[in-house]
Structure 1
Amino acid sequence: MTRHRLATLDDVPETGSKAFDVDGRSVLVCRSSAGVFAIENMCSHAYALLEGGKVKGPYIFCPLHGIRFNMRDGTPNGTLTKKPIAVYETELIGDEIYADIPND
């Protein structure tokens, strides 16, 4: 596990998301009223990118089929998939966003 500086708060829209490349892995940083999250940028159902999906509270909605994922633990809601997405421990230091990303 390696800690990575992903972005600053200004880099990610409020109630939105932005993807960042971390050693060849697409990590999606999301901001909402529930906090700042770093998650896998791939839906576990149709393997579509989650970037651009609606962010509301602790949830992100896949822009392809609308599957809702809890960004706190990765669990999906609905019948299209039961496979969670990866979530990464995130820390905000000042206005800088850090996340612990596993080494592959």
Structure 2
Amino acid sequence: MSSFIKALPIADIPENGNKAVEIAGKSVLICNSQGSFYAIANECTHQRSPLEGGKVRGTFLFCPLHGVRFDLRNGMPSGNLTKVCVKTYETRVVDDWVEIAEATGTAAA
């Protein structure tokens, strides 16, 4: 069973928006897609730029630098700029807070 860390109150993440937090020395981006919350590493695998501020559309996040599209559910990229997945983290909402599972980051193969 995973251990979870409180990350952000859900009120701090606008619908179809995102916000980065520092957890265990890593920058993690929490995204709100129509009330569903996802967490991914806050670093594009194309040019290592932050993903914070990228557009959230459905279950996809678009890198604000070059528009690489990542699936928030599994980190898979779309397009030709990168084939490397972004690490994703399990999330849950407890008492109006988004919590992230410790040490459960995964990257799809």
- TM-score range normalised by the length of the shorter chain: over 0.9
C-alpha distance in structure 2 between counterparts of 1:28 and 1:72, whole Å: 13
Instruction: Give distance in 1, aligned partners of 2:70 and 2:86.
Output: 8
SS at 1:10 equivalent: helix
* Richer in strand (by share): 1
TM-score w.r.t. length of structure 1: 0.92
Which residue pairs with 2:7 in the alignment?
Answer: 6
Read off the aligned partner of 2:98 and give its amino acid letter: I
In the alignment, the residues of structure 2 paired with residue 43 and residue 10 of structure 1 have an alpha-carbon distance, to the nearest angstrom, of 25
TM-score, normalised relative to structure 2:
0.88
d(CA) in 2 for partners of 1:97, 1:33: 14
Q: Describe the superposition over 1:24-74 as per-residue Cα deviations: whole angstroms up to 9, x where unpaired.
A: 100100001261101100000000100000011101000000000000000
4+ residue runs of structure 1 moved beyond 2 angstroms?
Answer: none
Matching residue of 1:53? 54
- Alignment map for 1:18-57 (pairs within 5 Å): 18-33=19-34, 35-57=36-58
Native 8 Å contact 2:44 2:50 kept in 1: yes
Q: Secondary structure at the match of 2:20?
A: strand
How many residue pairs were aligned?
103
**In percent, how many aligned pairs have the same letter?**
42
User: Is 2:85 the partner of 1:62?
Assistant: no
CA–CA separation in structure 2 for the residues paired with 1:17 and 1:10:
11
Cα distance in structure 1, aligned partners of 2:16 and 2:102: 23
Inter-partner Cα distance in structure 1 for 2:25 and 2:16: 25
Backbone CA RMSD of aligned residues: 1.5
CA contact (8 A) 1:8 1:97 kept: yes
